[in-house]
Chain A
Amino acid sequence: MTSGHRRAVITGVGAVAPGGIGRDAYWDLLTAGRTATRRISLFDPAGFRSQVAAECDFDPLAAGLTPQEARRMDRAGQFAVVAAREAVADSGIELPGTDPERVGVSIGSAVGCTMGLEEEYAVLSDGGRDWLVDHSYGVPHLYGYMVPSTLAVEVARQAGAEGPVALISTGCTSGLDAIGHGVQLIEEGTADIVLAGATDAPLSPITSACFDAIKATTANNDDPRHASRPFDGRRDGFVLGEGSAVMVLEELESARRRGATVYAEILGFAGRSNAFHMTGLKPDGREMAEAVRVALDRARLDPEGIDYINAHGSGTKQNDRHETAAFKRSLGQRAHEVPVSSIKSMIGHSLGAIGSLEIAACALALRHQVVPPTANLSTPDPECDLDYVPVTAREHRMDRVLSVGSGFGGFQTAMVLGRPGLAHGEAA
């Protein structure tokens, strides 16, 4: 049964997402096809080009954080810790009975503790007046906002981890890359358990302004609920989101020994870069296709082995075309046969966090054998001609699923997950 190497499986899932805190609320939202996008309430968006976002209705104290934790952690840190707690509880793992050196953490984040960093900047600079910011107004944990590694530190302290701890920050592929890093730690034998996922809370003026400046986000402010339109002919940019998902990754044999319930096995992942442009994409999808090809190769699968594609589907003009081309290029005819969907239509694009929320969605899709839909897809785009599962969730037999990410810097990542119990690379 075992092929002589260590394998990584998901045994616990925790999520903080727009439209629902917790794994079950998250899955309900996705399968109902509800959109959590709305006019921004976390700050006054008047005067900004894009005024909509997918926000989490998140109260740190109600979510179980203590007042000091809530004060110390930036919103992104709060999300990650709450998601990590849920994942650990879900896995049923007894961390105190585990050698702490064998427990690792791999958290992704694109923009770290930007929200805390910006709020403190506004005070220390007295509303931008002083270049020589006033240190006497600095909060004690200010440096914790300056370095994104704080997010991994917080999760590591929660878990009592003493093994390898990393914060992976590759922009919008951070989530997939962080989970991939966790898989690597398990496969190479450095850790038996890794809390892996990602978190981002980018809904602050500076992040909104920087995406305004490059016109990457939607200007559809009049109809927030329908503003995120991946693969739709009327899409006009992505909708910012926020949130976190954390998974318990475990070495397969040790998960089996303790009788853990397995959501999915990570069968393959790979990253490639387009070395083309920091924000621009070539229409041919060449490097994303190469990432998919290598991920399938590592999973020992042909394109026919893939039953569902969880797309990056950001809803920008160039992404959705690029991605569609990449699927055709890497999967051939299979790209036309499998359902493809973008959950960003419902929960927006939470930058680095989204990859973790998408892998959580894939794990849940495999468990429930349901494909979440692409909401708001009503006007076909001739250049996006695959089966994007418009509007309504679909029951679908799935053994193996593919998820991809694409981000600034030119990074492209692909990951393949399989239903538990399948031997590596074999047919179901």
Chain B
Amino acid sequence: MSASGIRPGRRGRSVVTGLGVVAPTGIGAARHWESVLSGKSGLGRITRFDPTGYPVRVAGEVPGFRAAGQVPGRLVPQTDRYTHFALAAAEDALADAAADPATLPEYEMAVVTASSSGGTEFGQHEMENLYQKGSSWVGAYQSIAWFYAATTGQVSIRHGMRGPCGVICGEQAGGLDALGQSRRLLDTGSRLVLSGGTDASLCPYGLVAQLSTGRLSTEDDPARAYLPFDAAASGFVPGEGGAILVVESADAAHARGVPAYGELLGYAAGFDPTADGATRLPVTDDAARSAPAPDATRLPVADRAAQPPAPSRTTARRSVLVSVIRRALADAGLAPGDVDMVFADASGTPAEDLAEARALTEVFGPGGVPVTAPKTLTGRLYAGGAALDVATALLALSAGVVPHTAGLGRPAPGCEIDLVLDRPRQTDPRTALVLARGHGGFTSALVVGAGDRNALRR
């Protein structure tokens, strides 16, 4: 055995047997899926605080979530809304998988979630107490509610899961990275992993921090605010919520006699050093965006800027996204032609949409695969976004349809992709590729395949 417990040879099979969804499209996988099929948007004017004074006023809020009804009473004041979402989703996912943790070996159950900004709203309240009233007004729960590991810890405690626990922060790509990690855990002694992610940063400080990226849409009409790959794209809409998935080894699921929505077939992650992020390069100017970083941002020994820079790195340099897609396909043992649909990252910023469309064209050929982005209904959910995309992809596989991207009008010039518009396609897809990019350069891809569960348990 190796230090990490990985054994040489092929990976075991990882299947998804339960889904828990808390999203602007609805609470529960069934309600979410109905919204996706009918193109029902969860975007609207922000109600959690008065957004009048801010340039961004539209977001995707989870409708009708009452922590008191969906989270154990003692945990409500102890935790942030992002953890409330995860506790509710984890409970649903376990029920959906018909898994009773009390009957499973304690050390073989693990939890790994994505976190983007932790308990943002809770933290703002406690900083307000500190700065307004003094240090003794900071509550005892700040130490366990604000940090990025709050959700994983609470979920592990709630369900008695004593295996390895993890938290991966890759901003909006983190959800895929957490699911990628769940496969590693299943290969190293765990049999069941609760994985995915949630986010709830729609408080004033959370929104204002997001404004600084310059990527949020300032459009006031919810139907016009988040239009990825569209000629009228104007950035993206933030949202809250996410999904928690029960990922099991195929053997464990078989032993329990439960069907699976699908299988995690392949995963890869990479880092795009040309992405916007820590240095906040301008997003509108392609040439400036792709300029090599100044010497000083490199290690002295890693000074690749000393090499002659390519005239235009967006075209001349290898696309990290292309490479990540190819590695994920190789990990799955699939060729591009084997992929039946792509859930795009769909950033909504023209330059990034174009880069993603070009990457898909490079791998699959022009219009070579149906591409969709149901996240236009929810906005971008940060740590919850990619996890929800995977849940949606699994629902689509189990239902045999490619869901459409609602609300788009005219495709942006240069995006030579087969975007699924207007209505779902009943093409019985068997595989899906899910893409995610996170602030600063995180780039991840996950390939999922259909399972033997073909209807939602109601």
A–B touch (CB < 8 A): the answer is yes
A6-B7 Cα distance, complex, nearest whole Å: 10
A274 near B162 (CB under 8 angstroms)?
Answer: yes
Stretch at the interface among A164-172, A314-322, A332-340, A390-398: A164-172
A128 touches B132 (CB 8 A): yes
In the bound assembly, the distance between CA atoms of A110 and B211 in angstroms comes to 24
| B304, CB-defined interface residue at 8 Å | yes
Report chain B residues within 8 Å CB of A95: 299, 301-302, 304
CB distance from A123 to the nearest CB of B (A): 10
On chain A, the residues within 8 Å of B284 by CB distance are none
Interchain CA distance A156-B278 in the complex, whole Å: 11
Distance (whole angstroms) from the CB of A212 to the closest CB of chain B: 6
* Residue A42 lies at the interface, judged by CB distance under 8 Å to chain B: no
For B174-197 the 0/1 string (1 means CB < 8 A from A) is: 100100000010000100000000
Which residue of chain A is the closest to B127 with respect to CB atoms? A121
Contacts of A135 on B, CB cut-off 8 Å?
54-55, 208, 211
Complex Cα distance A50/B257, Å?
54
> In the docked arrangement, what's the CA distance between A214 and B277, Å?
36
State whether A165 touches B271 (Cβ < 8 A).
yes
Contact of B212 among A141, A266, A274 (CB under 8 A): A141
- For B111, B131, B300, the residue with the greatest tally of chain A CB atoms inside 10 Å of its CB is B131
Residues 70-97 of chain A: 1 if any B CB is under 8 Å from the residue's CB, otherwise 0? 0011000000000011001100011110
Of the residues B146, B277, B303, B441, contact of A144 by C-beta under 8 Å: B277
Q: How far is the CA of A112 from the CA of B271 in the complex (A)?
A: 19
A211 touches B168 (CB 8 A): no
**Across the interface, do A171 and B153 meet the contact criterion of CB distance under 8 Å?**
yes
Chain B binder among A147-155, A229-237, A354-362, A365-373: A147-155
| Residue B64 CB within 8 A of the other chain | no
The winner among A66, A156, A276, A409 for most chain B CB atoms within 10 A is A409
B166: chain A residues within 8 A (beta carbon):
168, 170, 177, 181, 271
Are B53 and A132 in contact, with the CB atoms below 8 A?
yes
Contact A125 B162, beta carbon cutoff 8 Å? no
Contact check, A411 vs B153: say whether CB atoms are below 8 A apart: yes
- Quick one: CB contact mask for A111-148 with B, threshold 8 Å, 1 for yes? 11000011001101101110111110011111111111
Query: Do B212 and A147 have beta carbons less than 8 Å apart?
Result: no
Q: Which residue of A lies closest to B135 (CB)?
A: A209
Are B143's CB and A132's CB within 8 A?
no
Bound complex: CA of A147 vs CA of B199, how far in Å? 12
Asked whether any CB of chain A lies closer than 8 Å to the CB of B402, the reply is no
The answer to whether A409 and B134 touch (CB under 8 A), given A147-B169, A272-B163, is: no
A206: interface (CB < 8 Å): yes
Chain B contacts for A276, CB-based, 8 A: 157
Which residues on B sit within 8 Å (CB–CB) of A297? 1
Cα separation A187 to B7 with both chains bound (whole Å): 9
Distance to closest chain A CB from B318 (angstroms): 9
Contact of A89 among B142, B144, B171, B300 (CB under 8 A): B300
Q: How far, in angstroms, from A415 to B111 measured CA to CA in the complex? A: 20
What separation, in Å, do the CA atoms of A271 and B112 have in the docked complex?
12
Q: Which of B26-34, B114-122, B308-316, B347-355 contacts A (4 or more CB under 8 A)?
A: B114-122
Q: Which residues from A are CB-within-8-Å of B306?
A: 96
Could you tell me the distance in whole angstroms from the C-beta of A260 to the nearest C-beta in chain B? Answer: 14
CB–CB B209/A410 < 8 A: no
Q: Give every chain B residue within 8 A of A159 (Cβ-Cβ).
A: 299, 302
Q: Is A250 an interface residue (CB 8 A)?
A: no
Collect the chain B residues with CB atoms within 8 Å of residue A299's CB: 3
Q: Is A8 an interface residue (CB 8 A)?
A: yes
When the two chains form their complex, are residues B149 and A187 in contact, meaning their CB atoms are under 8 A apart? no
Closest to B187 in A: A188
A164 and B204 contacting across the interface, CB-CB below 8 Å: no
Tell me the A162-219 residues at the B interface (CB within 8 Å): 162-171, 174, 177, 180-181, 183-184, 187-188, 190, 205-206, 208-214, 216
Contacts of B88-131 to chain A: CB distance below 8 A: 106-107, 111, 115-118, 120, 123-124, 126-131
Closest residue to B302 on the A side, CB-wise?
A95
A353 on the interface (CB 8 Å rule)? no
Nearest Cβ in chain A — how far from B127, in angstroms? 5
Of B50, B143, B206, B272, most buried by chain A (CB within 10 Å of CB) is: B143
Tell me if B227 is interfacial: C-beta within 8 Å of chain A.
Answer: no
Q: Are A149 and B171 in contact (CB under 8 A)?
A: yes
Q: Which of A93, A125, A269 contacts B131 (CB under 8 A)?
A: A125
Contacts of B154 in A (CB 8 A): 278, 409
Across the interface, do A213 and B138 meet the contact criterion of CB distance under 8 Å?
yes
Q: Inside 8 A of A8's CB, which chain B residues have their CB?
A: 3
Least CB separation from A67: chain B residue = B296
Q: Mark B322-343, 1 if CB is under 8 A from A, else 0.
A: 0100000000000000000000
Which of B2, B53, B149, B271 is A408 in contact with, Cβ under 8 Å?
B149
CB nearest to B173 among chain A residues: A149
Pick the most buried of B280, B299, B300, B320: most chain A CB atoms within 10 A of its CB.
B299
Q: State the CA gap A68–B152 with chains docked (Å).
A: 35
* B144 close to A278 (CB less than 8 A): yes
Most buried by A among B2, B170, B438: B2
User: In the bound complex, what is the Cα–Cα distance between A180 and B249 (angstroms)?
Assistant: 22
A273 touches B (CB below 8 Å): yes
Is A133 in contact with B205, judged by CB distance below 8 angstroms?
yes
- Which chain A residues lie closer than 8 Å to B6 at the CB level? 5, 184, 187-188
Q: Which residues of A contact B (CB under 8 A)?
A: 4-8, 47-49, 66, 68-69, 72-73, 84-85, 88-89, 93-96, 100-101, 105, 110-112, 117-118, 121-122, 124-125, 127-129, 131-135, 138-150, 152-154, 156-171, 174, 177, 180-181, 183-184, 187-188, 190, 205-206, 208-214, 216, 266-279, 287, 290, 294, 297-300, 407-411, 416
- Interface contacts beyond A85-B300, A95-B299: sample of 14 additional A-B pairs, CB < 8 Å, sorted by A: A5-B8, A88-B299, A95-B304, A96-B306, A118-B127, A132-B53, A140-B212, A166-B177, A180-B4, A208-B135, A213-B143, A273-B165, A298-B3, A298-B4
A selection of 9 A-B contacts at a CB cut-off of 8 Å is A73-B278, A128-B132, A133-B208, A138-B209, A144-B439, A156-B271, A165-B270, A276-B157, A298-B4
